[in-house]
Amino acid sequence: MNLLNPTHDPARRSWIESANRPETDFPIQNLPFGTFERDGVIRTGVAIGEHAVDLRELLDSGLLTPVSDAAFACEAADGGLHRLMSMPPRYASALRAALSDLLKSDAPQRARMQQHADDLLPRIDTLELRLPCEVGDYTDFLTSLHHTERHGRYKGLADPLPPAFKSLPIAYHGRASSLRVSGGEVRRPHGQYRDANGEIVFGPAPALDFELELAAWIGEGNSLTQPIAVDDACAHIFGYSLLNDWSAKSIQWFEQVLGPFLGKSFHSSLSPWIVTSEALAPFRKAPVARAENDPPLMAHLHGVRDQQEGGLHLELYAHLSTQKLRDSGAIATRITHTHLDNLYWTFAQMVAHHTSNGCNLRTGDLLGSGTISGADDAARACITELTNAGRDPLRLPNGETRTALEDGDEIVLTARATKAGAVSIGFGECRGRVAPALAFATHESEKAA
């Protein structure tokens, strides 16, 4: 399914004009899947320019060939993406091919679709977007060497890189229940932390940070005790979204004995569209080679195909705006520009490692890359790194400084896959604004009051 096909044809354009603008994230070559609420009903759709094809309306329209894989896929996507994602990749692929044919400039069905555009092709900005899919288990990796080394140095470790880092993709289980779609408020959490005097206190967490990540959505799962081979892993990844792994560093530093817990579980943000593995096929590249003195890659993490095309030509960005910046009409400031090449491990290796002990992945499981920081200063993908752990405050164009996120600060993550000869595709936004901590009701009686 990763082979190029007519849906990737860079010459293909859409009769939906907004899909042909060079800056759009959603040209006809992308066609990412998402979920939204319309008139109180959960629906699924595919983004094209500033619009989304409502898959329920598409199914009812009769535009798909009856009893085809595409029609079966469209029916499976009714009410949520879970079932479609659980099916062999050819179903979503057939639906993608059918949509591409319906939306291309010279599609014979154009007039018929335009006639029903209000129902069939709502503007995205009129939709209440939801999490693309319910997440079963959410796993977060730690695969940027630069992010890991910098944090090790901030902690004053003699060897800033943990011994296991180059032997396996380090990971921990994250909290699935507090994953939210892009756009909402991110409430500053309460927690226990050490204050400036070293006293343990409980209160609104001071050191709030963002972390720029890419996350893979599992399509077909595997059975318990049945590992996924590294070169088969891509077929189990339905697609990718942007992930902001909001972190309350002050909580995390104090609590962390068995890994991150309340320092992260208050909120994690996901972009609303799943850019499919198939849409990203033209942007495949070899991952960055391991250094000569790195330990040899173990057999179960070595895939012939993965070594050839386990990476992606993908640039990722973080933007910050403050209340003052917005009040002055200024646009958000880009604070991070990084590249997926900054990961030491590929997503196929993450899947292979994750299942190497027989652990089962299920449809809708989410695998975060970890903070995608690079060696360059501009490629530091969280405020902790951008400020060298608070030593060098971040300076904004209006003179404001930051060593952590303040209430009202907004982070927007974006990403673009770009390669000469291919039409660039994007991920949409992963946006969140920090809201002040709520008053804390210690006892039920206070809540009732």
> Is residue 164 near a copy of itself by the rule CB under 8 A?
yes
> Is residue 168 near a copy of itself by the rule CB under 8 A?
yes
Query: β-pairing, 430-435 with 185-187?
Result: parallel
197-200 contacts, C-beta under 8 A, 24 or more apart: 200/254
Contact map string, positions 269 to 308, toward a copy of itself, x by CB under 8 A:
--------------------------x--xxx-xx-----
> Is residue 350 near a copy of itself by the rule CB under 8 A?
no
Task: Give, as ranges, the residues between 38 and 67 that touch a copy of itself (CB under 8 A).
Answer: none
> Is residue 22 near a copy of itself by the rule CB under 8 A?
no
Task: Give, as ranges, the residues between 205 and 224 that touch a copy of itself (CB under 8 A).
Answer: 205, 224
Nearer to a copy of itself, 99 or 251 (CB): 251
Q: Please say if 147 is a catalytic residue.
A: yes
> Is residue 1 near a copy of itself by the rule CB under 8 A?
no
How many residues bind to a copy of itself according to rule CB under 8 A? Answer: 72
> Is residue 365 near a copy of itself by the rule CB under 8 A?
yes
> Is residue 361 near a copy of itself by the rule CB under 8 A?
yes
Q: Give min distance, CB of 92 to a copy of itself, in A.
A: 21
Q: Is the dihedral of CA 1, 170, 137, 271 positive or negative?
A: negative
Give the whole-angstrom CA distance, residue 447 versus residue 110. Answer: 56
Listed in sequence order, the residues at least 6 apart from 239 whose beta carbon sits closer than 8 Å to its beta carbon are 32, 33, 216, 217, 219, 274, 275, 276, 277, 279, 280
Give the whole-angstrom CA distance, residue 256 versus residue 253. Answer: 6
Q: Would you list the DSSP string of 26-91?
A: --TTT--EEEEEETTEEEEEEEETTEEEEHHHHHHHT-SPTTSHHHHHHHHTTT-SHHHHHS-HHH
Range in contact with a copy of itself (rule: CB under 8 A) among 20-28, 102-110, 176-184, 395-403: 176-184
Q: Is the separation of the CB atoms in 204 and 231 below 8 Å?
A: no
Q: How far is CA 401 from the centre of its chain?
A: 28
Query: Which one among 38, 83, 110, 175 touches a copy of itself, defined by CB under 8 A?
Result: 175
> Is residue 111 near a copy of itself by the rule CB under 8 A?
no
Nearer to a copy of itself, 11 or 258 (CB): 258
134 is in an annotated binding site: no
365 is in an annotated binding site: no
Q: Give min distance, CB of 169 to a copy of itself, in A.
A: 10
- Please give the helix or strand (H or E) that residue 446 lies within, else none: helix 444-448
Task: Specify binding-site residues for Mg(2+).
Answer: 245, 264, 268
